[in-house]
A and B are shown apart, each in its own frame.
Chain A
Amino acid sequence: MSDQIILRVATKIVVPPIVLFALYVQFHGDFGPGGGFQAGVILAAALILYGLVFGLRRTQKVAPSWLVRTCASLGVLIYALVGVEGIVLGGHFLNYSVFFPLHPEEGQHLGILLVELGVMVTVFGVMATVFYFFAARGREDL
């Protein structure tokens, strides 16, 4: 689709706000609707839109295959490590209150933020990986 000038220009205009919106959904999830899962999907949607218009090769210059695959597993790792950190600091698994024993809410805030970050990273990685695999199949140069 890279010969369609309207699609190319529109995509270039639209992709940065989509990425920004994903970050907004991620970091504003404590206050409004949204969170890691939605943010990850929106971030992946930006990448997929770019990939549909400009092709797989140019997309993989932005986010190489190994990177999105690492993201997929890294997010789960972040999540689990935040949980283990609770044990290390003397609480239960996934109990964030012990991060700041004097201010449990601050700990909860930090824990939720990190955990949602893990969810976003995994969901983004998974969606991008699946898209890469679908797009790469059956054609040598997309």
Chain B
Amino acid sequence: MELVLTFLLLAFLGATALGVAKTRNLFSAVVLAGIFSFLSAGLFTVMDAVDVAFTEAAVGAGVSTVFYLATLALVGGKVRAPEIRITTVKEKQTARTPRFPLVVVVVTGAILIYGTLDMPPYGEPNNPIHRHVTPRYLEETDEEIGVPNVVTAVLASYRGYDTLGETTVVFTAAVGVMMLLSRLKKRDELGEEPWGEEPVESLDVGFGALEPSLESGDRLAEGEGRAEELAT
């Protein structure tokens, strides 16, 4: 039963991932990404990782979907063909042919799969990961911490240092968003470049490429030219 469920969830996961990659409608891509997160949460639940599933459902399917939708409301919901090109001269010649990326992806995938052959078998109780500190956490938590949920004990006490770092990272992310968006807002209000003397063209290109009304190809080519100018 559990095996059937796992395979079903994995199949849906693969189908959703393909759907996200295939669709040209960003709105459906966002909704599919939310479904993808829910399916992963289901998979985590099947694997008894309830805490992770909880986080995935709340963050992946809930809040980030809202953020994506908020972004779409600002930049518009459709893209043309993916026309993003890389600016260096050498890559410009090779990236045009669609076969080159395929070869890169296949070779990288093959190397990664070859790498997994050295991994210990999945879920084996004698794997190194289950023999290092895990037994100690499982056996001693009750006595040392007195908290029934071992995940919480590891997260907040044994590995409290890591969690402090994670909290700081979350805080830093907010500071980054605030700096970026408040600068853009200031530019909207004043109608001038807040970035100093030299305007940062690449950022303009990034946002412009998503706007449906713009001729994205021309805009990108223009940005490319300017980026090359800046580089020389």
Bound-state Cα–Cα, A67 to B143, Å: 39
Other-chain residue from B55, B58, B144 in contact with A108 (beta carbon distance below 8 A):
B144
Other-chain residue from A38, A52, A112, A130 in contact with B153 (beta carbon distance below 8 A):
A112
A135 and B51 in contact, given A35-B152, A126-B171 (Cβ under 8 angstroms): no
Q: Could you give, for residues 10-28 of chain A, a 1 whenever the CB lies within 8 Å of some chain B CB and a 0 otherwise?
A: 0000000000000001000
Q: In the complex, identify which listed stretch (B21-29, B32-40, B97-105, B181-189) lies at the interface while the others stay far away.
A: B181-189
CB-defined contacts of A130 to chain B, threshold 8 Å: 67, 173-174, 177
Listed in ascending order, the chain B residues whose CB lies under 8 Å from chain A are: 50-51, 53-55, 58-59, 62-63, 66-67, 70-71, 73-74, 143-149, 151-153, 155-157, 160-161, 163-164, 167-168, 170-171, 173-174, 177-178, 181-182, 184-185, 188
Bound-state Cα–Cα, A130 to B170, Å: 11
19 inter-chain pairs at a CB distance below 8 angstroms, sorted by A residue, are A37-B55, A41-B62, A73-B171, A76-B167, A94-B161, A106-B146, A108-B147, A112-B147, A112-B153, A112-B156, A119-B167, A122-B171, A130-B173, A130-B174, A133-B177, A133-B178, A133-B182, A137-B181, A138-B73
CB-defined contacts of A105 to chain B, threshold 8 Å: 143-146
Asked if A79 is at the interface (CB within 8 A of a chain B CB), the reply is yes
Q: Determine chain A's interface SS by DSSP, over half rule.
A: helix
A126, B63: Cβ atoms closer than 8 Å? no
B157, A119: Cβ atoms closer than 8 Å? no
Nearest Cβ on chain B to A38's Cβ, whole angstroms: 5
> Besides the contacts A33-B53, A42-B58, A109-B145, what 13 more A-B pairs have beta carbons closer than 8 Å?
A30-B148, A37-B55, A52-B66, A72-B174, A73-B171, A76-B167, A83-B160, A108-B145, A112-B147, A112-B156, A127-B63, A129-B177, A134-B181
CB-defined contacts of A115 to chain B, threshold 8 Å: 156, 160, 163
Listed in ascending order, the chain A residues whose CB lies under 8 Å from chain B are: 25, 29-38, 41-42, 44-45, 48, 52, 69, 72-73, 75-76, 79-80, 83, 93-94, 96, 104-106, 108-109, 111-112, 115-116, 118-119, 122-123, 125-127, 129-131, 133-138
CB-defined contacts of B58 to chain A, threshold 8 Å: 38, 41-42, 45
Bound-state Cα–Cα, A48 to B68, Å: 13
CB-defined contacts of A134 to chain B, threshold 8 Å: 67, 70-71, 74, 181
CB-defined contacts of A75 to chain B, threshold 8 Å: 167, 171
Bound-state Cα–Cα, A41 to B73, Å: 22
Q: Which A-B residue pairs are the 6 nearest by beta carbons? A: A105-B146, A33-B50, A126-B174, A134-B70, A94-B160, A41-B58
Bound-state Cα–Cα, A69 to B171, Å: 10
B51, A30: Cβ atoms closer than 8 Å? no
Nearest Cβ on chain A to B149's Cβ, whole angstroms: 6
B167, A41: Cβ atoms closer than 8 Å? no
CB-defined contacts of B146 to chain A, threshold 8 Å: 105-106, 108-109
